[in-house]
């Protein structure tokens, strides 16, 4: 595939350099399967990303545009007595704060206690309004992110409801959790791309041109595939 892409790009560049019309081609939809993982993480890392809050409820006496919200969570691993504690920055004067903050937790993928947390407990987030001088923080609500998808996925991304006890508040929080790779198996991803097919006869023509000849006239064959480069696409008016 890499060699095919290289040869196809050579055809386009030659046509462009000589002011020729684009070589004979057509477009096709191609599907690909890839394994998703995050190699920058170690096997003992679990990254929690607090992305943003949306339409968070304001506590009594606070206007939505005066909400100074932050999010904290305690992950009860390695034990409930020794949880890993984290909190975001305070985003002031909005009920739709954007955090985009990452927190790295230390885990043991094969530990029975950790696997139990993933399958049964999840990650509980606590949302609060920051208090001022001699004023305590006020609760906004809680949100629970289920983690069982980590068994088969290296990343989960969810928008979860903010609850007041068992009552939905209308607010939501976007959260992502990443592992280097799933706890079991591989995270297979499918994607479909728009690919451009250049006839094999045009590839032969490029080789002849390189040797001092012209475009060869050979018959259409199966063709060679490559992903459309946006700059070449625009300059050649494909």
Q: Where are the alpha helices (DSSP H) in 90-226?
A: 112-116, 200-210
Residue 126 lies in a domain: yes
| Same domain flag for 169 and 63 | yes
Residue 39 lies in a domain: no
Total tally of structural domains belonging to the chain: 2
| Same domain flag for 81 and 141 | yes
Looking at residue 45, what is its pLDDT? 98
- Are the CB atoms for 48 and 73 separated by under 8 Å? yes
| Same domain flag for 179 and 197 | no
Looking at residue 205, what is its pLDDT? 54
| Same domain flag for 93 and 157 | yes
Domain range for residue 166? 45-185
| Same domain flag for 106 and 121 | yes
- Are the CB atoms for 191 and 32 separated by under 8 Å? yes
| Same domain flag for 176 and 87 | yes
Residue 167 lies in a domain: yes
Calpha distance 229→77 (Å, rounded) = 47
Q: Any idea what the CATH number is for the domain that residue 118 is in?
A: 2.60.40.150
| Same domain flag for 137 and 169 | yes
- Are the CB atoms for 198 and 206 separated by under 8 Å? no
Residue 107 lies in a domain: yes
Calpha distance 69→52 (Å, rounded) = 11
Pairing of strands 82-87, 69-79: antiparallel
Looking at residue 144, what is its pLDDT? 97
| Closest alpha carbon to 157 in 191, 115, 187 | 187
| Same domain flag for 96 and 211 | no
Q: Tell me the per-residue pLDDT of 96-140, one tens digit each, with 9 for 90 and over.
A: 999 999 999 999 999 999 999 999 999 999 999 999 887 899 999
Spell out, as residue ranges, where the chain has pLDDT lower than 50: 210-237
| Same domain flag for 52 and 101 | yes
């Amino acid at each position: 595939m890499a060699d095919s892409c290289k040869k196809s790009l050579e055809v386009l560049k030659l046509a462009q350099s000589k002011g020729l019309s684009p070589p004979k081609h057509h477009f096709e939809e191609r599907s690909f399967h890839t394994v998703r993982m995050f190699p920058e993480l170690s096997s003992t890392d679990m990254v929690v990303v607090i992305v943003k809050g949306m339409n968070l409820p304001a506590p009594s006496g606070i206007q939505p545009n005066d909400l100074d919200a932050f999010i904290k969570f305690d992950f009860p691993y390695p034990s409930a007595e020794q949880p890993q504690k984290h909190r975001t920055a305070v985003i002031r004067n909005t009920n739709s704060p954007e955090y985009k903050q990452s927190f790295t937790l230390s885990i043991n993928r094969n530990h029975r206690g950790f696997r139990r947390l993933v399958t049964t407990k999840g990650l509980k987030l606590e949302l609060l309004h920051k208090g001022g001088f001699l004023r305590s923080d006020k609760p906004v609500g809680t949100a629970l992110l289920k983690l069982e998808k980590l068994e088969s996925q290296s990343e989960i991304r969810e928008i979860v409801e903010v609850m007041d006890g068992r009552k939905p508040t209308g607010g939501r929080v976007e959260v992502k959790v990443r592992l280097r790779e799933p706890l079991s198996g591989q995270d297979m991803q499918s994607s479909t791309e728009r690919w451009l097919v250049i006839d094999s006869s045009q590839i032969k023509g490029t080789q002849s041109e390189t040797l001092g000849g012209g475009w060869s006239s050979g018959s259409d064959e199966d063709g060679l595939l490559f992903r459309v480069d946006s700059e070449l696409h625009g300059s050649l008016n494909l």
